[in-house]
A = this chain, B = another copy of it.
């Protein structure tokens, strides 16, 4: 396969994983700055027209993976591919951010949930959404229902 390399790095308010908001009802509205390396800055041309971006990044401070784990939003175990766990076979993270503004090689964004200094692998435009009414969200919906006392069976 290919050999990944960073196209840039993100600065965020989070120095430690314990600083990152997690669990049911968490909103990610922290701001951060993605700085693209000079070799790749030309690739940002026209990006400022997009309100939202997909950011693909490396979980660079994880050392192993777990196929089953208990996410912060639940007290039950689920498969890694059904969660956003950092302990993945390929340590790749995905975050949707709002692009606030661009200043040359800097993308000022809202919605970061990475550790400060995380290497960025790719940035892509967010082009369309699945309508919320079409979404089923599996164990997360069930955990939300239990937390709200709406579950018929615990």
Which chain A residues have a beta carbon within 8 Å of chain B's beta carbons? 1-7, 36, 40, 42-52, 54, 56, 58, 60, 67-68, 77-84, 88-92, 94, 96, 119, 121-132, 134-142
Contact = CB atoms under 8 A, between A and B. Distances in A.
Contacts of A139: 46, 49
Given A47-B81, A81-B123, A132-B129, A42 B58 contact: no
A9 to B, nearest CB: 12
A91 B49 CA distance: 23
A82 B4 contact: no
Contacts of A84: 124-125, 127
Given A5-B90, A40-B67, A68-B45, A83 B136 contact: no
